[in-house]
Amino acid sequence: MTPTAEAPAPAYPQSQVVAHWVVLILIVTQYFMGDQMSDAFRTMLESRADDVRTAPAGVALVHGIFGVLIGLVMLFRLVNRLRHGAPPPPPASRAVQVLGRAVHWLFYAVLLAMPVAGLAAWWLGAGWIGNLHAIASKVLLGLIFLHVAGTAYHHLVLKDGSVVRRMVPSRSDPRY
pLDDT tens, position by position, 36-58: 888 888 888 887 654 445 445 67
Q: How far apart are the C-alpha atoms of 44 and 47, rounded to whole Å?
A: 5
Q: Is the pLDDT of residue 174 over 60?
A: no
Please give the distance of CA 42 from its chain centroid, rounded to a whole number.
25
Q: Would you kindly state where each structural domain of the chain is located, as residue ranges?
A: 14-167
pLDDT (0 to 100) of residue 52: 47
75 vs 176 pLDDT, higher one: 75
Q: Is the pLDDT of residue 163 over 80?
A: no
pLDDT (0 to 100) of residue 57: 67
Reported as a single tens digit per residue, the pLDDT across 52-104 is 454 456 788 899 999 999 999 999 999 999 999 888 888 788 998 899 999 99
The whole-model pTM stands at 0.83
The answer to whether residues 60 and 122 touch, using CB atoms and an 8 Å cutoff, is: yes
53 C-beta neighbours (distance < 10 Å), count: 10
Task: Estimate the share of the chain in helix, then strand, then coil, as percent rounded to the nearest 5.
Answer: 75, 0, 25
Reported as a single tens digit per residue, the pLDDT across 97-125 is 899 999 999 999 999 999 999 999 999 98
The answer to whether residues 41 and 48 touch, using CB atoms and an 8 Å cutoff, is: no
